[in-house]
Amino acid sequence: MKQQELTVKDVLETLPRRMRSRRLGDWKAVFHFDIRGKRGGRFTVRVGGGACVVLEGLQGTPDCLVQAQDSVFLGIELGDINPQVAFLTRRVRVSNVPAMLQFGKVFYRYGQWRHMQAGIGEPLPGHRSERLPVDGPLSGIRILDFTRLYPGPLATMMMGELGAEVIKIEDPGSPDPMRGYPPYLDQQSVGFLAVNRFKYSLALNYRHPEGRRVFFRLLHHSDMVVESFRPGVMDEWGLGYGQAREAKADIIYLSLTGYGQQGPLAARASHDLNYLALSGLLSITGTAERPVIPGGQLADVAGGAYMAVIAALTALWHRERTGEGRHLDVAMLEGTLPLLTLQWAHLAATGKPAPRGEDILSGGMAAYNVYRCADGKFIALAAIEPKFWETFCDLVGHPEWKQSYFTLGDAQHALIRQVAGVIARHPREYWVKLGERHDICLTPVLDLQEVPSHPHIQQRHLMRREQAPPRIRMPFLRPSEVPGERPAPALGQDTVTVLEKAGFSRKEIQTLHKDRVVLQQRGDDGGATGEG
């Protein structure tokens, strides 16, 4: 069905199939949907007793009334409109917010559900490619990857690009939520595509007794398990480190969480922003008025993904020398703290932190700052050493600034304003050319779309712009060592292949599929995943 032909009735009638039964519990509620417009209508949704019933018309007394225009309601369901923004701007009116929040937990949004369905049907256009092993320094290492969302999948993807055979294991009924997150490219989540290259997909109901048996058969031929659930969850499913170690004594088991396996916060839900806040990094980032959220997920990537890769490589070398496996407890909060090594040292020396925006490396120094140009674009000046600063002062015709280099307080603030006034006289390109001709640590602040076209990025072959989303290579690999493309897999794309490689017969696989323990994507031809 074309998107412009979709109606509210079409969307609501799929609710029984979009229900996450495990999250329903004993919750019961009646919802009235009063959706205006040609594609709208009035509907009653009754949830309870493990079922969902959708009726036309407003029937009975509702626990929650939802009112919206058809375009807004459908936009939310398709992932084109942020539901929180729609609620705050009153484009959607909800009479019982807690009930609606629970509704959102129990049901996948329509667009997310459709994209998940696309992942388990026929291969998506342009998605299938040669499923060949990647040659690299980690060739021969097999990883069972239970991670979801961003930090964990990024870590395992990096190890996959280095040659490890990464088997992404997902419950067919509750796959990686990233598969359904907008925006989309050719009906696929670009976020999922970006962090799941170089992996094979096994759709396995690992909470089923037979699914657990499949896991332990795979474990026998694997080197590492990587998971990112809250502490104790894998143990509850019978898949934790203790159970894995009993089955394979030298297994490396990496648990990536926000706060680690123990501690007062261990079980608490959090995200990148929370780790930045608790690490102290957020408190020193921004202006005197308030902290500013960084544009990238520093804790997720540096504190999570990078630390996980470092831990994994360390454990592999430890096992190589001793024959011992181990449980790796990688916490993103702890992994973020080393980003502030210098700031902690300064604090130890001075006894107090510099006010936010006043430290010499965070906006408190004229020689190390960001300035707006005449065309509204920005340049970054990092002339922190005297020789660079003095050259810059001479080039802009202000040799008197040299003596103000390390002044503090109002004098430094005045100098920053003076430098800003000079920079604002010319467009960014003028300053770019000045920085190219003279060694003064002056660079443009590039927009994201400008980065791939920068001559240095191109010369170093850091990004492949012809791929969507763009692929960023492992920075320390030589261009000749960068493996060919292997796109993120559809859900269950390699189920048969992975199981056959682990010694499962075709009859066993068919039985597992019939019993809904595994899901095999139509078209999985059983191509090789690498040496067993």
Helices (H) and strands (E) in the chain, counts: 23, 19
Nearest to 124 by CA among 469, 485, 489: 489
Contact 212, 234 (CB under 8 A): no
Question: Which is the catalytic residue, given 176, 300, 329, 524?
Answer: 300
The DSSP secondary-structure symbol of 65 reads E
- Provide the CB-side half-sphere exposure for 343 (13 A, CA): 21
Structure tokens at 100: 């609606």
Which amino acid, one-letter code, is at 430? Answer: Y
Structure tokens at 158: 């990096």
Structure tokens at 44: 């009653």
Between β-strands 184-185 and 92-94, what pairing exists: parallel, antiparallel or unpaired?
A: unpaired
Active site residue 375: no
Contact 138, 220 (CB under 8 A): no
Q: How far apart are CA 513 and CA 395, in angstroms?
A: 72
Contact 392, 442 (CB under 8 A): yes
Nearest to 63 by CA among 100, 30, 93, 92: 30
Q: How far apart are CA 127 and CA 186, in angstroms?
A: 9
Distances (CA, A) of 76 to 87, 91, 107, 234: 11, 11, 13, 33
Question: Which is the catalytic residue, given 271, 346, 413, 513?
Answer: 271
The DSSP secondary-structure symbol of 135 reads P
Containing 380, the helix (H) or strand (E) segment is strand 378-382
The DSSP secondary-structure symbol of 129 reads -
Q: How far apart are CA 484 and CA 490, in angstroms?
A: 18
Nearest to 334 by CA among 293, 299, 296: 299
Contact 174, 490 (CB under 8 A): no
Structure tokens at 129: 């490619």
- Provide the CB-side half-sphere exposure for 424 (13 A, CA): 7
Active site residue 271: yes
- Residues β-bridged to residue 512: none
Which residues have a catalytic role annotated?
Answer: 271, 300
